[in-house]
Amino acid sequence: MKAVTIYGTLGPACREQGLLEAMFREGMDGLRLNLSHSGLRESAALIENCRRAAEACGVRPELLIDLQGPELRIGSLAAPLSLESGGLLPLSALPLPPEVGGLLEQKGPGQELLLDDGKLLLRTQADPTGKLSLQVLRGGLLESRKSVALPGCLLRPPALTAADRAQLRLAKNYGVTAVMQPFVRGREDLLELRQAMAEAGCPELRLLAKVENLEGVARLEELIPCCDEIVIARGDLGNAMPLWELPGVQKRIAAACRRAGRDFMVVTQMLDSMTHRPVPTRAELSDVFNAVLDGAASVMVTGETAAGEYPVQTIRYLTRTVRQAEAYRTQADDTEC
């Protein structure tokens, strides 16, 4: 069985070549670039630092681009916005996508709104005149371009944005090796991306399908033959259901991929506490370990390396835990034989 691939995420916290070299020396195989925050041209210097760092470590790096796709995000904020639990703010205070704002007006009072992978929770309420505002049920710091989800609402933006198609045309020039399609709703989204990749001159790139909504879960069997790897993206997937149901759904997706012989990745909050701490929790390490035992072909950290304070330590703990899990799995297999 091949070794599990280790991915970090590019961002301001790991932009220096020396830091990236240290991450590769700790066992990192590649990096993800989130195109919802920055394009390939804008990230050219960062990508070049990654290439040089990998070359210095004798690594041929994977570079995954995570498209914008149908994911909904707030717009740009002049500065991070502190939302206090119990507070109230006008609907206009948040730069919401037009389709989200329109749907909130249509739904009226009582509609919940999840921001930043569900870290923040708001709910619409009406004043005596019927004008909507947002009550903060679970507060925190909101930054630009964070995800938006409306539990119980079905929105159908296009699978690819015009910006996504433009990025695909640049992919080969920047050493991209794989494309991640977010919020896959069915095989049609993946077929559309395959066609767009062919038209952009990069049909050979690997296609990773991110399962992060209930439609993707329900139509998993038709997604598996249309991609090279399934991504169990637990951030928004956890917004789509009660959180206590998420582990079971992750297990069922993993089992379906194993039956079909399809690689899968586990991602989101794997070592989230390391965003601000040099040592992870025991629960996080168990999560990583169990993902490998479930058969994950790859694991990825996101904000931990993109914006965290300890990117090198994060990769160290991730890699060493993965290797311990691989050794345990090999011993278990040998015992069974």
Q: Give tens-digit pLDDT for 235-261.
A: 989 988 999 999 999 999 999 999 999
Residue 151 has pLDDT above 90, yes or no: no
Residues in contact with 102: Cβ distance below 8 Å, sequence separation at least 6, in sequence order: none
DSSP class of residue 277 equals -
Residue 4 has pLDDT above 80, yes or no: yes
Residue 135 has pLDDT above 80, yes or no: yes
User: Which two structure tokens, joined as six digits, stand for 45?
Assistant: 């210097």
Q: So where are the chain's domains?
A: 5-70+158-336, 81-149
Lowest-pLDDT range of 52-66, 117-131, 200-214, 296-310: 117-131
73 is catalytic: yes
Angular region, 110: left φ>0, alpha ψ -120 to 50, beta rest: left
Look at the block and give the residue holding tokens 């992060």. 212
- Backbone phi, psi, residue 231, to 5°: -110, 120
Which residues are 86's β-sheet partners?
none
268 is catalytic: yes
- Backbone phi, psi, residue 70, to 5°: -85, 10
Please give the share of the chain, as a percent, with pLDDT higher than 70: 100
- What is the helix (H) or strand (E) element at residue 301, kind and residue range? none
d(CA 224, CA 210): 11
In CATH terms, the fold of domain 81-149 is M1 Pyruvate Kinase; Domain 3 (2.40.33)
Residue from 283, 219, 189, 291 nearest 250 by CA: 291
Name the catalytic one among 5, 268, 275, 302: 268
Residue 26 has pLDDT above 80, yes or no: yes
User: Which two structure tokens, joined as six digits, stand for 12?
Assistant: 């301001």
The count of residues in the chain is 337
**CATH architecture assigned to 5-70+158-336:** Alpha-Beta Barrel (3.20)
Residue from 46, 8, 1 nearest 29 by CA: 8
Q: Provide the pairing of β-strand 120-126 with 298-300.
A: unpaired
Name the catalytic one among 5, 146, 185, 210: 210
What is the 3-class SS of 124-146, one letter each residue? EEECCCCCEEEEEEECEEECCCC
251 is catalytic: no
Residue 156 has pLDDT above 90, yes or no: no
Residue 337 has pLDDT above 70, yes or no: no
Name the catalytic one among 73, 146, 262, 316: 73
Q: Give tens-digit pLDDT for 259-291.
A: 999 999 999 999 999 999 999 999 999 999 999
Residue 158 has pLDDT above 80, yes or no: yes
CA distances from 87 to 118, 133, 135 (A): 17, 10, 6
107 is catalytic: no
Predicted confidence band of residue 98 (pLDDT cuts 50, 70, 90): confident
Name the catalytic one among 5, 32, 124, 321: 32
Residue from 236, 235, 229 nearest 177 by CA: 229
Residue from 125, 128, 127 nearest 104 by CA: 125
d(CA 75, CA 175): 29
pTM: 0.82
Give the pLDDT confidence score for residue 117 in this predicted structure.
81
User: Which two structure tokens, joined as six digits, stand for 90?
Assistant: 């006008």
